Structure 1
Amino acid sequence: MTAAEDLDMEGPTDAVHVWYMDLDELSSRPHRHLESALGPDERARRAAYPEARSRARFTAAHGVLRLLLGRFLDIPAAQVRMRCGPMGKPALLPGAPPVHFNLSHAGGHAVAAVSVGREVGVDLDRPREGFPLESFARRYFPPSESDLVLRAPREERMRVFLTLWTRKEALVKAAGSGIALGVGQPVGGTEDSVVVTAAQHRLRGTWRIRALSPPFGVGAVALAHSRPFRVIAHGWAANEGA
């Protein structure tokens, strides 16, 4: 499958491709093709992880992302050139095709998102045992959102909290900002698709956010502008790209 066939490389599209990855499954097999896809900056970042499992997960997630970008750009993965924005969001170099991408991971799972012509942010999170979500929501979320969390049945509160949290993360990542700005930004209720207009400097603009249905945890993806978009979901097989 060539994902670029579903996208118009000449202008904005109303689709985003997302790939779900089981990082531990990918790491359990020989992954020389993932290793060779990494660039020098990624190799340096990976070396900072003290644990072998963390380094292996990093190789899997970032290697897959580079292989995906290589498909969209029709070049070898190792030749994909990136730069980081002021808040660390990676992007292609100026003058490259308008391919936007983002990556998120939670433990042994990850999701990559790629779109054309619209900035994208994606987030994946998982339930956390013992996390004080009620007090966190009460302190940091807007009142309408903290009420959503606190009024939900106890067994549903973590899901509601993560639905709102992943939206905020996806939004700030699409904007190339940090979660400190986004935690207080209203992101609507719990419906599957919302339009958010943000006035804060580094979030300013209109964004459409959609819920994802990952095989693990809770996820959301945000694209610039209010137009609806399709989510085209894929899984990444352990031997794919080898």
Structure 2
Amino acid sequence: MFSTLSNTGASICLLDIRTIAVAQLHRYETWLGPAEVARYAGFVRQLRRRQFLLGRALLRASMGEMLEVAPESIALEERPSQAPRLLAPAGGPYFSISHSGHWVACALSGTTRLGLDIELRDSGRDVLALARQAFGAAVAADMEKLPQEERRKAFYQRWSEAEARYKLGMDAGACVNLAHAELSIVLCSAAPLTHAPALLLSGLASD
């Protein structure tokens, strides 16, 4: 799945968590380290628990395939209010993970730091009010001129880019928007990618 990673510079794996049976979750729970288990146990909402577990499982499965190691051998360090850090194997790829609604995603690169954000576009949200709060009156006024669906897409694209840049940890760098029917997907990288990132669906067995 990640055979083209060295050529493209980055790949994104996207998973609809509704495709994973409840009976299969125990297998992925055994992949978690002690700190991850403690955090996982602390989530009250079932959706958030599944997002966390399957986000970490997707990352391990994708990274394991890239490095040709067992997913359960990949060790991550939990960091409060920060992305996890890769402990083992040493010298592994750069990565970023994100979740929204019933989707989780991870991005991997062997060459550059990444910041990934996905957002489920919610037709019920007042995106103009959110734009005024997040981006200011001028940006909201520009969005108001757009047709409703284009306005929603523009808001979520801008929001995703802001979140992806935050995860990257820098205002500079290059950002790419990827098309998806339900999601706004933005990947930012410290160094420009040589090609558009590959968007790969699934990544975990569904049975």
TM-score (norm 2): 0.84
| Deviation of 1:209 (Å) | 0.5
Task: Indicate the percent of aligned positions where both proteins have the same amino acid.
Answer: 22
Pairs within 5 Å for 1:93-132:
93=87, 96-132=90-126
1:225 to 168, 191, 195: 191
The equivalent residue for 1:169 is 163
| Deviation of 1:237 (Å) | 5.5
| Deviation of 1:141 (Å) | 1.2
How much is the aligned-residue C-alpha RMSD, in angstroms? Answer: 2.7
| Deviation of 1:144 (Å) | 5.9
Mark the runs of 5 or more structure 1 residues left unpaired by the alignment. Answer: 176-202
Pairs within 5 Å for 1:1-242:
1=1, 3=2, 5-8=3-6, 14-28=8-22, 30-83=24-77, 87-93=81-87, 96-141=90-135, 145-175=139-169, 203=170, 206-236=172-202, 239=205
Which shifted more, 118-127 or 207-216? Answer: 207-216
SS at structure 1 position matched to 2:20: helix
Residue by residue over 1:97-134, the C-alpha shift from the partner in whole angstroms, topping out at 9 and shown as x without a partner, is 25111111111111211111211111111223543321
| Deviation of 1:36 (Å) | 2.4
Counterpart amino acid of residue 211 in structure 1: N
Mark the runs of 5 or more structure 2 residues left unpaired by the alignment. Answer: none
CA–CA distance in 1 between the matches of 2:34 and 2:21? 20
Are the counterparts in 1 of residues 5 and 11 from structure 2 also a CA contact under 8 Å? no
Counterpart amino acid of residue 35 in structure 2: D
| Deviation of 1:29 (Å) | 5.2
Counterpart amino acid of residue 198 in structure 2: I
CA–CA distance in 2 between the matches of 1:210 and 1:37? 31
TM-score (norm 1): 0.73
CA–CA distance in 2 between the matches of 1:26 and 1:60? 9
